[in-house]
Structure 1
Amino acid sequence: MMIVRPIKADDHTALRELASKTGPGFTSLQDNDQQVAAKMENALKAYNPATRGAEALFLFVMEDTETGEVVGVSGIESAVGLTEPWYNYRVGTLVHASRELKVYNQLNTLTITNDHTGYSELCTLFLAPDARHSKNGSLLSKSRFMFMAEFPQLFSDHLIAEMRGYSDENGISPFWEGLGRHFFSLDFSEADQLSSMDKVFIAELMPKNAIYTNLLPQDAQDAIGKTHNATTPARRLLENEGMRFTGYIDIFDGGPTLEARTNDIRAIQDSHYVKVHVADIQPEGELYMVSTNDFEDFRCCMTPLTSVGKHVVTVTPDVAEALNITEGSTVRVVPLSSGRRF
């Protein structure tokens, strides 16, 4: 059984192993010892109220309870842009018109902004290739909403998620090659790695004025708002939960930023409490996410549920053990995908 739980200090080796598999363009978890160590340190601080900062990083891992292997990671930044600027491009429109010449042109532009300052961010979602089956990706991503529903005071009223932008089979980003390289004189992978460690150079080198997209190479224009092939399923999953692309893109690879009001997310809005009855039966049917209400020992798994009374559901002993719950415990539940509720 797969469970999602807060990261712990002894997960460092597993996190480093996952980072070695992410590939170019995965800014938030790179094949870099320094970044992984810093991310682990920040995450451990987030789960300690005495050391938690305004921009807390809550990291979670997916663990196979049968083998003890960590197969995935996901995260939530409680707020972005409070201590270092948070940059993206806003896609806009300018009209150039002349009545005398009978010319009317609508031109797309890119303008650098800090519009999402203070928003919470879904980040660092990565599942090992061998574990990409049986809806594990859905659980790893959506379990974060259960944590946010349980501890809303830790997060903003608005939520964003930056999607990895398109790159070809050689890891080349056409958006970067058509735009960013002219200002940074760096390879995409190098600039991407630097941005994860220090964002000051972005402000120093990025153009301050609006950029007309029609002046970019066609392949760079085509990449605006386009996700990496491996990220498309994650985008669809978040869009099904209520997040939308509203015209903001990543300044490096042109990937879309999805956003929503936090309370409008389906899994947050529809989740609710039930009591558990533990019985050695095998429920069938729709999968539910089931999560505990502990903070440091938060756990979430997916399983079918059987209703046995008003606000009472049956779970198997295996599920109870995985979640560290007992007869009569209170848990939060919601369908893994949109559907009926108890």
Structure 2
Amino acid sequence: MLVIRPIRETDFDALMLCAEESGHGFTSLPVDETLIKGRIDHSVESFARNAQAPGMEGYLMVAEDTETGEVAGTTGIEAAIGLDNPFYSYHISKIVHHSRRLDVHNVVEVLTFGNNYTGATEICTLFLRPEFRQGLNGKLLSKCRFLMLAQFPEKFSDVIFAEMRGVSDEDGNSPFWAWLKEHFFSIDFTLADYLTGTGQKGFIADLMPKLPIYVSLLSEEAREVIGQVHEKTRPALRLLEKEGFTCRGYVDIFDAGPTVECLRQNIDSIRRSFTARVKIAEHSSAQDYLICNSDFENFRATATKVGVDEERNEVLISKEVAEALFVQDGDTVRLVSV
């Protein structure tokens, strides 16, 4: 059984392994020991802070195999983006070039540089190791964040978004970045991606073109990947789309991968989730649920079969599940069917 829990200092080696296995383009988890340790420390501090409003907290969690103790993957939430370091993105919009005298009417797309997601909550750092990509593990790792958002809404923004990895090849080369590099930068995509992941974003503001970029002026290869996701990211995108996330024209400034967003209260798993009291008992239910406890600092979530007694507002769970979630009879849990 996989259980989601807050990351600990002792998970350093496991998180480094996830960073190495995630490959190019996974900006939020670069292979950098100092950064990885910093993210772990920041998460430990954030969970202990008991914030009552979204701020600079970063909550990083891992999925642990309860039988082996092995870390299967990681997932995270940034409470409010852009409050300490600027968060940049491109917005795709249209402008009209029109001349009545010449009878010319052209609609063209432009990319505008900006910080429009400042203060929004980002769900991020989702990575499941290949050997664990089976059953409900992927859904658990992604949707456990929605249970947390639903159970502790005061800690997060009304707008929830996720950056999806854009198109790049096996060596980490991005067609979109290749065009930017040729005209504005002199560094490779992998280095730019790494610098951003380590918080060294000053070069973006220094070198990125401030005026809107006409999409028609980009190379054909760059135009084709705008708003497209990496093949390994398609399952994650489909899952978010089913939750109600949509792209409103924002893309990443490096690989042009789409940014998808949804109002917190409109996320499907949040709307369908409900709370119930725990009753530890054997049951014969065949219905799968994602379930979490109501203790933020000791947050736990898992995917399992439970029995739901709607009349008594009780959820029947096994002793094993109760122990994994740190709950007892009468405690309150939140759950959603999958």
**Would the TM-score normalized by the shorter structure come out above 0.5?**
yes
- Tell me the residue number matched to 2:73: 72
**Structure 1 vs Structure 2 CA RMSD:** 1.7
Deviation at 1:51, TM superposition (A): 9.7
Residue 177 (structure 1) aligned with residue 178 (structure 2): yes
Q: What residue identity is the alignment partner of 1:305?
A: V
* Residues 1:51 and 1:41: Cα distance change in structure 2 (over 3 Å): farther
SS at match of 2:21: coil
Cα pair 1:180 1:252 within 8 Å, conserved: no
SS at match of 1:21: helix
Cα pair 1:158 1:261 within 8 Å, conserved: yes
SS at match of 1:47: helix
* Residues 1:12 and 1:181: Cα distance change in structure 2 (over 3 Å): farther
Give the alignment of 1:1-342 within 5 angstroms: 1-49=1-49, 54-196=55-197, 197-285=199-287, 287-308=288-309, 309-336=311-338
State the Cα deviation string for residues 217-258 of structure 1 (Å, max 9, x = none): 111101101111111111111111111100000000001011
Give ranges in structure 2 of 5+ residues lacking alignment. Answer: none
* Residues 1:51 and 1:275: Cα distance change in structure 2 (over 3 Å): closer
Q: What residue identity is the alignment partner of 2:19?
A: A
Cα pair 1:21 1:31 within 8 Å, conserved: no
Cα pair 1:163 1:235 within 8 Å, conserved: yes
Q: What residue identity is the alignment partner of 1:93?
A: K
* Residues 1:65 and 1:282: Cα distance change in structure 2 (over 3 Å): farther
Cα pair 1:282 1:316 within 8 Å, conserved: no
SS at match of 2:49: coil
Q: Distance in 2 between matches of 1:148 and 1:109?
A: 34
Deviation at 1:305, TM superposition (A): 2.1
State the Cα deviation string for residues 92-151 of structure 1 (Å, max 9, x = none): 111122334332221110010111111011111111011111121111011011111111
User: Structure 1 residues 203-212 or 303-312, which shifts more?
Assistant: 303-312
Q: Distance in 2 between matches of 1:201 and 1:172?
A: 19
Deviation at 1:180, TM superposition (A): 4.1
Give ranges in structure 1 of 5+ residues lacking alignment. Answer: 337-342
User: Structure 1 residues 27-36 or 222-231, which shifts more?
Assistant: 27-36
SS at match of 1:20: helix
Q: Distance in 2 between matches of 1:132 and 1:307?
A: 28
Q: Distance in 2 between matches of 1:216 and 1:233?
A: 28
**TM-score, structure 1 normalization:** 0.94
Q: Distance in 2 between matches of 1:111 and 1:201?
A: 18
Would you say how many aligned residue pairs link Structure 1 and Structure 2?
Answer: 335
Q: Distance in 2 between matches of 1:181 and 1:324?
A: 54
| Identical aligned residues as a percent | 44
User: Structure 1 residues 78-87 or 299-308, which shifts more?
Assistant: 299-308
State the Cα deviation string for residues 40-86 of structure 1 (Å, max 9, x = none): 12111111218999311000100111111111101000001112211
